[in-house]
Homo-oligomer: A and B are copies of this chain.
Amino acid sequence: MTAAAKPWMTEHRKPRVVIIGGGFGGLYAARALKRDDVEVTVLDRTNHHVFQPLLYQVATATLTPADIAAPIRWLLRKQRHTTVLMTEVTDIDVERRTVTTSSAGALPYDFVIVASGARHAYFGHPEWEAVAPGLKSIDDAVEIRQRILAAFERAEACTDPAERAALLTFVVVGAGPTGVELAGMIATIAHHGMVEEFRRSDPSRARVLLLEGGSRVLATYPAALGARARRDLIALGVEVRTGALVTSVTADAVQVGAETIPTRTVIWAAGNAASPLGRMLGAPLDRSGRVQVAPDLSVPGHEELFVIGDLAATATDGRPVPAVAPAAMQMGRHAAHNIRRTLEQRDRLPFRYRNKGDLATIGRYRAIADFGRFTVSGVLAWWLWLLLHIMYLAGFRNRLSVLLEWAYSYFTYGRGSRLITGRGHERAASSTPALEPKW
């Protein structure tokens, strides 16, 4: 943008900032604009912000959806200049500076922040999604919870030993943090959480497999931590297989090389693909569809257009910024600050990712943490993880409420959350559809 008169000056109105996505990036961008003399519109296709790092606890019935999600408009209710709309973005016209939505018409903008994140990628096998759901949203988590719990229920009702064994086999594909956390928690609830509740089947004999195509567990962490995580998972009863490339996923089995693993529950944690909105920006994309942004997080040639979070490809000191919540939050704040600097006719600043540490939990009482200069593992790392997550959840629900819920859930193995709900399973592929609850 040149120093020439800006549209909002000639039109005597406030600059319009449209933010697409109410995840960590979008929410933190909106919050950072709290005191600025602008008009902010936040668009999301759901009505709620999700604390994604705890989504796996909803998927494994330890926390309930309401524990980790809150309405976006509630979170931003005190910003009188901010409007939140639940709608689908169908187009972004970067030349006319307009965002087209499915229900709120076309919204003109002076600045736009695209923070629409990523979905799962199935490596050219989109048909696997129906049988192997991934974990990005509350609906995903409820779907996975429903599948895991229904498998135990079916195993109890079932009279055929082979079918029962397949029902009690849980396969998690991908040994990144999400896969490790899911596999650890499934093993924990199966082997400890529900044993006394079943009469005909034995949940403690459930098999939990963690299949990783690469050679390491937690490949983005230091090798020693990955090895520790592997040992902890094995101690929890998870069968960890690295170099295990999945070649087929059906409603009945997973194929790994020559081996067929009969299973009725597969969870996908193996890959991400950036939001399709990235392709509408006319900007260069990387291999996974992320937008290659300039150091100030804008798209080259469009300084009014910012891309942040999992949809943005950028680097700090030559190292790619990872697709994690803290990076999205930092980018959200940074994009907001650069909009402010532009309005104040000051130079923009380049984004630098400050990695405060990476954490992953294994089961109920163990975790690993990488703080760059040092690493922590085991129970101490778990307490660190717990403290950090409760701190970040602030503003969401009150911390005490989550802490109590959590303590209660851990103590009772989350039985309060063990509800099989949702009609979504009707569309799921299943070898025994008649067993599903019908209304």
Contact = CB atoms under 8 A, between A and B. Distances in A.
A154 B136 CA distance: 24
A342 interface: no
Contacts of A149: 47
Contacts of A420: 46-48, 86
A104 interface: yes
Contacts of A137: 439
Contacts of A358: none
A105 interface: yes
A85 interface: yes
A200 interface: yes
B157 A439 contact: no
A415 to B, nearest CB: 5
Contact of A69 (B86, B419, B424, B437): B419
Contacts of A5: none
A216 B71 CA distance: 38
Contacts of A426: 427
A434 interface: yes
A156 interface: yes
A104 B64 contact: no
A34 interface: no
How big is the A interface, by class? 35 or more
Given A73-B197, A418-B71, A435 B102 contact: yes
Contacts of A69: 419
Contacts of A434: 88, 102-103
A353 interface: no
A158 interface: yes
A45 interface: yes
A197 B79 CA distance: 9
A438 B140 CA distance: 12
Contacts of A11: none
A139 interface: yes
Interface in A187-214: 194, 196-200
Contact of A423 (B65, B86, B139, B153): B139
Interface in A103-119: 103-105, 119
Given A159-B104, A419-B66, A421-B142, A88 B45 contact: no
A422 interface: yes
A401 interface: yes
A431 B429 CA distance: 29
Q: Kindly name the residue among A103, A137, A150 whose own CB sees the greatest number of chain B CB atoms within 10 A.
A: A103
A164 B422 CA distance: 28
A83 interface: yes
A359 to B, nearest CB: 25
Contacts of A199: 80, 82-84
B422 A139 contact: yes
B421 A423 contact: no
A401 to B, nearest CB: 6
A404 interface: yes
Nearest to A86: B153
A365 interface: no
A426 to B, nearest CB: 8
A418 B140 contact: no
A422 B419 contact: no
A417 B158 contact: no
B66 A416 contact: yes
A82 B150 CA distance: 19
16 contacts: A47-B149, A47-B419, A48-B420, A70-B415, A70-B416, A71-B415, A82-B199, A84-B197, A86-B153, A86-B156, A103-B158, A142-B421, A401-B416, A422-B422, A423-B427, A424-B424
Given A47-B418, A47-B437, A83-B199, 12 more contacts: A85-B153, A85-B157, A101-B157, A103-B158, A138-B421, A139-B422, A139-B439, A142-B422, A397-B408, A422-B422, A422-B423, A424-B424
Interface of A: 45-48, 64-66, 69-71, 73-74, 77-78, 80, 82-88, 101-105, 119, 136-140, 142-143, 149-150, 153-154, 156-159, 194, 196-200, 397-398, 401, 404-405, 408, 415-424, 426-427, 432, 434-435, 437-439
